[in-house]
Amino acid sequence: MSQPRTCLSLETLEVRENLSPLFTETFNTTAPPALPSGWSSWASDGTTTFTSATGQGADGSAGLVSSAGSRTSSMTWYPSTFDADTGAEVSLKVDSLVPMYVFARGTNLESGDRSYLAAVVTRGLKVQLLEVNGASTRVLGTVSSPTSSYFSGQWVRVSLVPEGSSVKVQVVRQDTGQYLAANGTWQAAQTSVISTTTAITGGGKIGVGRNGLYYGAVQLDDFSGFSTAPSVTETFDTTPVGSAPTTWNTWASDSTGGFKTTLTRALSPDNGFASNGLSNTTARAWSNTDLPAGVDVSAAIYLDSLIPAQIFARGTNVQGSTPTYYAITLTRGLEAKLVKVVNGTETVLASVKSSAYLSGQWVRARLTVEGNQLKVQLYRPDTRQWLTPNGTWSDSPDFAVTLSDSSITGGGKAGVGRKAAVSGTLTVDDFDAKPIGAASGPQVDVTRVNGTGNVTGEVTFRATVTGDFNRIEFRLNNVVRAISATGPADWTFDSTTVVNGTYTLVVRVFDQAGNVAEEDFTFTVSNPNMDPLPDPVIPKHYDYIRLAMLAYSGTPVGDSFEQYLLKNSIDLVIPNPSYLNTINSASPNTPQLIYSNVSNLYQGLLTDWLQYADRTGASRELAFYHVTKATAFQGTSPSSQPVTWFWGVYQSNGTATPTDVTSAARGGRSSNVQFGAAGTSTSVGFVEKFREMNITLARGASSGWSGTWEYATAVDANGNPTAWKTLALNKDGTNGLTASGQITFDPPSDWVASSMTPGGARLFSVRFRVTSGTAANGAELLTVFGRDYVNANGGQTGTIPAFDYSADANHDGYLSDAEYANRQAGMDARFVYESRLFYPYYGQMRYVTNPSSAAVRHWAADYHQRLLAGYPNADGIFMDNATGKLPFPGVSVLEPTGTFSEDSGALMNSVSRAIGPKWVLANTAGGATTADPIVANSGGAFEEFLIRPMSANWSEVGDAVALINRRLGTTGNPYLVIDSSPEGGSRFDSRTQVATLAYYYLVGDPDRTFLMFYGGDSPSTSWSGHWTPVVNVDVGAPVGTMKTFATGKDPANTDLTYRVLSREYENALVLYKPLSYAQGKGEGTTADNTATTHQLNGTYRIVNSNGTLGQYVTSVTLRNGEGAILVKA
C-alpha cells in the first residue's frame, strides 16, 4: 500500500557523524495516556501495555511507560517503514528484571511470523542481542556486568546499530556518559557492548518492546531513529585553497580545468569549489565514498554563464571520457536538463526552463534517484522559491522534473562536473550526498481513517508526521488537492468526482529547510452509478420563447404591469425574498429562485460557517485561503467592514435583555456608552478569538469605581453564556478604565463563543463587569476597536499578513509574545485567521471561499437547506458569482488552487442534491470553460450581459454562440438564462429592444433557454424597462440554426466587414446586424451611415416595436446594431 519513503533535504550543511539522526520522539507533545499519533502496538494478550505519562521521562518530562503482567509480551513502533541501514535508540530506566528492548528491521509485527533484531536490557546490567524469526529466537550475543559493577535505578541510552549484515549494540550511562564495554564494565571511550552479524538484512519497522518474564512498570523516553548508511557532506571550507578535499578525486580533459577550492566566490564562507577552463574543457570531481543506488545528491551552483554545470549520481568510470551516471545539467537563464550518460554518450531525459530570466544567482540543485524514479528539485536561496514543472517559481516546495528510467541501476560515486561548451569559471559549493532514507527532516505515514476495501463516496486519509515540518501536501493524479501546515492532517476526498479505477495518493511533507518526505497510498474507487440531478419542471407561457426576470428590492411586483406579465408572460423570477408571496399569488406555477452567493464569506454567511464548523468539529480555517507572504489588498463594498470593528458590544444589568451598543462603540452614534454602576456588564465580541482592545474614553473612571475583565467559558444549548472567568491581562494601558489606552491579553484556551442576545451570532466575548461604584463615577466609552492587523488605518487599502506556523510552538493558531518574537521577518499575523485572503476588491472581512473541503461542501448544502426551509414559496437558489474561475491568480496562498473549478462544481453538486427537487441556477458569467463543472452540477446556468445587441460585433456574436452551445451541451441538459445588456443603446429604446429580441432568437432554444431583458443592468426597477410587446408575436419553432444572410464592406468604413445574421422560424425570418469588424482594424458604429439594404427572397411583414405588424416588404434596411423580426406573409 505504501512505497519507500523519499526524503529530500535543503538543510543547513554541517559536518555530521556517521550516524545520521532521522527523528526523535520525546513524547512531550502527546496527550497522556495515548501513544504518539500513528504509532502501532501489539500485545500477546490484547491488553494496552504502552502508554505516555506525565513526569515519567528522563528529565522529569513526559515519557513512555510499559506496564504488564509476567506472561505478557508486547511491542510498539513508529509509523514509517525504514531501510535496512536504519537503527533505533531509546532512553531506559533500568530498575527491574523486565526484559525491555529496542528493535529494528521489524516485519509482520502483528502476526506470529514476526521478525526483528532486538537489543534487550535488564538491571544489573545484562544486555542481549536477539534475532527473532517467527517462533525462533537466536541469541547473537550476551554481556552481563560483574557483581562489582552492579547497576540499577539509573537511565541508560540503548542503541541498536544495524549496517548491512553487521549489527552492534551500544549502551551509555546518562548520568556519567560512560559506555558499557564487551567485558561488562564501564569506560569513558566510545565502544560497543556487542558486535556481530545477522541473517536479518531487510528493512522494516523500529520501536520498543518487552518480553514476558516479569511483571511491573518500566520507564522509557526519547525514542530516536538514525541512519547508518554512508553519506557525504562537503562545504570545501576546510580544504586548502587551490586543491580538492583529501577524500575526493578529480579529472579534467586538460591540465587547467580541474576543480579546486577558491576564495573568489562561495555560498557559505569561505571557500567555493571552481573549475576554470576553456570551451573544450570537461571536468569532474567526486567523493571517494561509494554510495548505494538509492541516493540523494545536492549542491549549490552559481549561474552566471552558459557553462553546463552538472551534479551527478550513480557514477561509474567517472575518471575518463566514457563515464556512466545520471545528472542535472544547469546553465544560466535558467535551463535545467535531466540527463543520463552511458559510456560517455549523453541522452536528455527531460528539460525545464525558468519563465523568469535568472543569472548571477546561486541555485541549489538536488537530484534523487530511487529505483527507477528520478526527481529534480531547484531552489533559489535569494527568494526562497522552488522551480515548478511549468517553469514558474513557487513559494511552496515542488519538483521541477519527475520521471522513470531504468538505464543505470547500481550504486556508485556522486559529485559535480562541467561539460565542454564555453570558456570561463564554474563555481559550486556545499555538496551533500546521502542514501535515500538517510536524509534528515520529517517522516510521514499515511493511513485511511474510515472504511476498508474499495472506496465509495467520501474517504478520509490521514498524514501523521514525526519531526518538525511546515507543510503537508496531498497529491492525487499529480495535482495538489489539499495542504495543511499542522498535523496530523486529514483530507476527505469525494470519490464520486472521479471515474472508477485505481488511484495513488502521494503525500509530501516539507520542513522549513526544504526537507521533503513522501509516502504513497494506493486505493481503488468503485462507486455505483449515481442518479443524475433531476431536471427542473418549468411551465411555459409561450411555445416559442421562455422569459425570465429579476425582481430585486425596489421592483414594484405588486403593480398591475408586473402582475400582468407574471400571469401571462414570465416563466422564471429571481426575486427579493420579500416578494415571494406576492409573486406566488399572481402566478403560483412560476418558479422563484432566491439569491445566494458562497463565493465569499462575509457577515451572516461567515458566522453561519463558523458556527457550523464548531458544531461539527471541523476546522474553521477549512473554508478559507491563507496568504504565505504579506499581500497587499484594496477595495470596499457595502458588505465589507474593517477588521478593527468588533461585531457585538452589549450592555446588561443581569436582569433584562442586553442592550446593543455596537454602533455607538464604533463611534457611529452621538451618544457615548456608559459603563454604568455596580452590577452592569459591558461585553465586547468578535467572530474569532482576539488579543487587543484599543479603548478611547470620553470620560475616565473616578475613585471608588472599579470592575474586572472576564471571558465566557461555557454556554447552554442556545449558545447563551453560562460561566465566566477572570481574564488575565498582559497590559492594561487604561489603568482600570481611568484613561484611554490599549489592553492586551493572551486568548485563554477555554474561551468559548457565545450569543450575547437570544438567537444572535456566537462571538468570542470579553466583558467588563463593574464591581463597585456608581454610574456617575464610572467610565464613559467613546470607541473600542480591535487590532488593525492589515494596517488599513481606516482606509480601503492595506496588507494581509502571513502567519508563521513554525513559530507556533504549541500549535494553537496564535503567537504569544514569546512566539511572536521568533517569527520570520514579514510574517506578522498573530492568529492564523489574520492571514485569510480577502476577495479581490470586495474589502475587509469578505473572504474568498475555499470549496475544496468536504466540510465546506457539507456546510453549503446544510445552509441552503435551512435557507429554503425559511422560504417555502421559493423553488430554488440563484447562486451568484459561480464562475469556477480562481479569483486571485498570482497570489501565493498555503492551500492548493489547481482544482478550484472542479471543487466549485463539487460544492454545487452538494447543494443541488441537498435541496432537490428544488434546484440551483448558477450565475456563470465570466466563467467560460472554468464554469463547466458548476453547470454540470446545477439545474441551469445564468449568463449575465451575454448578448449586447448595440455594442457587439459579429466576431463577438460568434463567441456568444460558442458559449451558449457549450452551456447547452453540458451533461445533464441544464437550462440557460441569457441576460442582455443595453450597452450602446437604452433599455427604453425600441431599436435596442427589438435588436435584443432578434439577437436572442438567433441563438436561443425555445425549450432550454430564457431571455432576460437587461436584468443585470437594472435589477431593482419596474419591468416596463425590461419588456417589449414584440415578444407577443408568435414566430413559431426554429427551422434551423443561425446563418450569415449577407456580408460586405461597411459603407461608413470600408476597412470593416459587416454581416447580417439570420435564422428561419416557422412563422418568421429573424435578422440581426451586429457591428462591423475586421481583425486589427477595430469595429464599426451604430450610426445611420452604416445602413445597408437587403432583398428578402420573399414577402414579409415587419413587426413594429409595439407588437403590431407593419407593411408588406420584400427588402429590409439595417444599420449596425439593428434587428428585424419579419413575419411571413
Pick 911 or 483 by higher pLDDT.
911
How far is Cα 531 from Cα 96, in angstroms, rounded to an integer? 65
- The answer to whether 41 touches 73, Cβ cutoff 8 Å, is no
The count of C-alpha atoms lying within 13 angstroms of the C-alpha of 135, restricted to the half-sphere facing its C-beta, is: 0
In a domain, 612, yes or no: yes
Q: Which residue has the cell 435596442?
A: 992
pLDDT band at 438 (very low <50, low <70, confident <90, very high): low
- The per-residue pLDDT for 7 is 35
CATH of the domain at 858: 3.20.20
Of 227, 258, 280, which residue constitutes the final position of a domain? 227
Same domain, 1021 and 1041: no
pLDDT band at 398 (very low <50, low <70, confident <90, very high): confident
Of 755, 785, 815, which residue constitutes the final position of a domain? 785
- The answer to whether 767 touches 654, Cβ cutoff 8 Å, is no
SS3 993: helix
Measured CA distances, 494 to 455, 523, 527, 602, 902 (Å):
10, 13, 11, 26, 11
- The per-residue pLDDT for 451 is 85
Measured CA distances, 1003 to 209, 550, 990, 1043, 1066 (Å):
75, 21, 20, 10, 16
Q: Which residue has the cell 518574537?
A: 821
Of 744, 762, 785, which residue constitutes the final position of a domain? 785
Same domain, 163 and 298: no
Same domain, 974 and 1042: no
- The per-residue pLDDT for 439 is 53
Cα-flanking dihedrals φ and ψ of residue 1023, to 5°?
-70, -5
> What average pLDDT score do residues 981-994 get?
96
Same domain, 176 and 291: no
Measured CA distances, 292 to 80, 295, 435 (Å):
21, 6, 6
pLDDT band at 223 (very low <50, low <70, confident <90, very high): very high
Alpha helices in 969-1029 (DSSP H): 990-1003
Measured CA distances, 182 to 178, 540, 850 (Å):
13, 95, 62
In a domain, 1099, yes or no: yes
- The answer to whether 859 touches 620, Cβ cutoff 8 Å, is no
Grid cell digits, residue 489: 492532517
Q: What is the distance in angstroms between the CA of the first residue and the CA of the last residue of the chain? A: 75
- The answer to whether 547 touches 526, Cβ cutoff 8 Å, is no
Grid cell digits, residue 185: 564494565
Q: What contacts 831, CB < 8 A, 6 or more positions away?
A: 688, 689, 690, 691, 803, 813, 814, 815
Cα-flanking dihedrals φ and ψ of residue 371, to 5°?
65, -125
> What average pLDDT score do residues 1019-1034 get?
96
In a domain, 1080, yes or no: yes
Same domain, 304 and 260: yes
Q: What contacts 617, CB < 8 A, 6 or more positions away?
A: none
| pLDDT tens string 553-583 | 999 999 999 999 999 999 999 999 999 999 9
**Cis omega before residue 528 (within 30°)?**
no
Average pLDDT across the chain, whole number: 93
In a domain, 825, yes or no: no
In a domain, 743, yes or no: yes
How far is Cα 1121 from Cα 986, in angstroms, rounded to an integer? 12
CATH of the domain at 402: 2.60.120.560
- The answer to whether 516 touches 507, Cβ cutoff 8 Å, is no
Domain count within the chain: 6
- The per-residue pLDDT for 1051 is 97
How far is Cα 1119 from Cα 1073, in angstroms, rounded to an integer? 7
Q: What angle do CA 172, 175, 176 make, to 5 degrees?
A: 70
In a domain, 632, yes or no: no
- The per-residue pLDDT for 514 is 67
How far is Cα 1115 from Cα 1096, in angstroms, rounded to an integer? 5
Percent of the chain with pLDDT over 90: 84
Residue 584 DSSP label: H
- The answer to whether 512 touches 541, Cβ cutoff 8 Å, is no
| pLDDT tens string 831-890 | 999 999 999 999 999 999 999 999 999 999 999 999 999 999 999 999 999 999 999 998
Grid cell digits, residue 428: 559550486
Number of H helices, E strands in the chain: 10, 74
In a domain, 844, yes or no: no
pLDDT band at 16 (very low <50, low <70, confident <90, very high): very low
* Res. 166: pLDDT tops 70: yes
Same domain, 1023 and 963: yes
| pLDDT tens string 735-791 | 999 999 999 999 999 999 999 998 899 999 999 999 999 999 999 999 999 999 999
pLDDT band at 14 (very low <50, low <70, confident <90, very high): very low
- The answer to whether 88 touches 104, Cβ cutoff 8 Å, is yes
Kindly state the greatest CA–CA separation across the chain. 127
How far is Cα 454 from Cα 757, in angstroms, rounded to an integer? 49
> What average pLDDT score do residues 412-437 get?
93
CATH of the domain at 465: 2.60.40
- The per-residue pLDDT for 84 is 87
Same domain, 211 and 300: no
How far is Cα 967 from Cα 906, in angstroms, rounded to an integer? 17
Q: What contacts 19, CB < 8 A, 6 or more positions away?
A: 87, 161, 226, 227, 228
* Res. 394: pLDDT tops 90: no
Closest CA to 312 of 373, 376, 388: 376
- The answer to whether 635 touches 846, Cβ cutoff 8 Å, is no
Grid cell digits, residue 394: 513557487
Closest CA to 945 of 1013, 1007, 1028, 895: 1013
Measured CA distances, 114 to 50, 154, 200, 814, 1059 (Å):
19, 31, 12, 45, 81
pLDDT band at 468 (very low <50, low <70, confident <90, very high): confident
Q: What contacts 942, CB < 8 A, 6 or more positions away?
A: 878, 921, 922, 923, 924, 925, 976, 977, 979
Q: Which domain, by its residues, includes 735? A: 681-785
Q: What angle do CA 606, 611, 616 make, to 5 degrees?
A: 130
Same domain, 985 and 1049: no
How far is Cα 817 from Cα 827, in angstroms, rounded to an integer? 14
Grid cell digits, residue 1107: 407588437
- The per-residue pLDDT for 18 is 46
Give the CA radius of gyration of the chain: 37
Closest CA to 12 of 510, 440, 516, 485: 440
Same domain, 872 and 971: yes
- The per-residue pLDDT for 479 is 86
In a domain, 1115, yes or no: yes
> What average pLDDT score do residues 498-527 get?
87
- The answer to whether 946 touches 925, Cβ cutoff 8 Å, is yes
How far is Cα 708 from Cα 768, in angstroms, rounded to an integer? 6
Grid cell digits, residue 367: 537530484
Same domain, 538 and 519: no
- The per-residue pLDDT for 19 is 59
Closest CA to 648 of 714, 721, 724, 737: 721
How far is Cα 500 from Cα 623, in angstroms, rounded to an integer? 28
Closest CA to 844 of 1041, 658, 997, 635: 635
> What average pLDDT score do residues 644-670 get?
90
Same domain, 1024 and 1066: no
The count of C-alpha atoms lying within 13 angstroms of the C-alpha of 1021, restricted to the half-sphere facing its C-beta, is: 12
Q: b or e along 309-327 (b: 16 or more beta carbons within 10 Å of the residue's beta carbon)? A: bbbbbbbeebeeeebbbbb
* Range of weakest confidence among 345-359, 433-447, 957-971: 433-447
* Res. 13: pLDDT tops 60: no
Same domain, 561 and 479: no
